[in-house]
Structure 1
Amino acid sequence: MNALIILLSSLMFLMSLALFIYTKKQLASFQQSIQATIQTNQVSRELTALNAGSFGLGERFIKLEKQMQELAAKIDEVSSDMNSNSPYSYAIELAQKSTPAESIAELCHISLTEAQLLVMMHQQQAA
């Protein structure tokens, strides 16, 4: 009878030990699963933030590109206006705005003497 009790006790102990080991493995597996889920969620949040940031940058790049196209069009317009009119009409306009002769000569591709003459003529008219 004592042997039967010892056998049953040993069997219960072994079953308890097996259940403990199984539960411990399941708990470790569950913890790994939770950690993987947390990491996945964190990566997902980071990717969402990066996507939002890149979308904002894309919009800014498009806006900057439009501004550059507008500026290029204005530059072409000013350049064609300067080329279509004689350099002297633009030089006269600059002289009337009290632009120095050196700047007028450089901007209008005329000689310094011509620019000085235009400045003298058109400053006298303004006075």
Structure 2
Amino acid sequence: MNALVMLLSCLLFVASLAVLFWARRKLLDIEQALQNQYPQQFIDEITALNAGSIGLGGRFLKLEKELQTLATQMDELRSQTQRNTPYAQAIMLAQKGNNVAEIMELCGIGYNEAQLIVMMHANRQAA
């Protein structure tokens, strides 16, 4: 009977070792699979982040161009505003040959101012 108990004990020990090695192998396989999966997942995430940053870079460039366009338009508007003052308009009218009364009426400036502008700028046209 002792021999039978010893034999069964040995068989159980060998079976336990076999299960232990099998479980260890499965654990290593799972660990390897996880190691292979996560780097790919990280690579995918980094690729997505890079694509997003490239998209943002393009948007920043577009916004910068729009900002430059708006700055140019503002400068043009300032220039037009300065050119469209009553005196600038009076000078243009005088260069076109309008008389003092017309310039006074159209530009809302006084007689002396209109006369001075006509004297100064009507002669430039002729010269």
TM-score range, shorter chain: 0.5 to 0.7
Structure 1 residue 32: deviation in Å?
2.2
CA distance in 2, matches of 1:74, 1:81: 10
1: CA distance between counterparts of 2:58 and 2:107?
44
**CA offset at residue 79 of structure 1?**
1.3
Shift of 1:50: 0.5
TM-score normalised to the size of structure 1?
Answer: 0.60
Note the residue ranges of structure 2 that are not aligned, 5 or more in a row.
97-105, 109-127
Residues 86 and 40 of structure 1: CA distance in aligned 2, closer, same or farther (over 3 Å): same
- CA shift for structure 1 position 78: 1.1
Q: Specify every segment of 5 or more residues in structure 1 that has no aligned partner in the other structure, as ranges.
A: 94-107, 111-127
Which of 65, 86, 90 is the matching residue for 2:89? 86
Q: Cα RMSD over matched residues?
A: 3.0
Question: Is the 8 Å Cα contact of residues 90 and 107 (structure 2) preserved in structure 1?
Answer: yes
Percent identity, aligned pairs only?
9
Q: Comparing 56-65 with 3-12, which one deviates more in the overlay? A: 3-12
Counterparts of 2:83 and 2:23, CA distance in 1: 89
- Radius of gyration: which is bigger? 2
What does residue 71 of structure 1 align with? Answer: 73
Counting only pairs closer than 5 Å after superposition, residues 57-68 of structure 1 correspond to structure 2 as 57-68=59-70
Q: Provide Cα deviations, 1:46-96, integer angstroms capped at 9, x if missing partner.
A: 000011111111111111111111111011111111114136947xx8xxx
Question: How many Å apart are 1:40 and its aligned residue?
Answer: 0.9
Equivalent residue pairs, number: 95
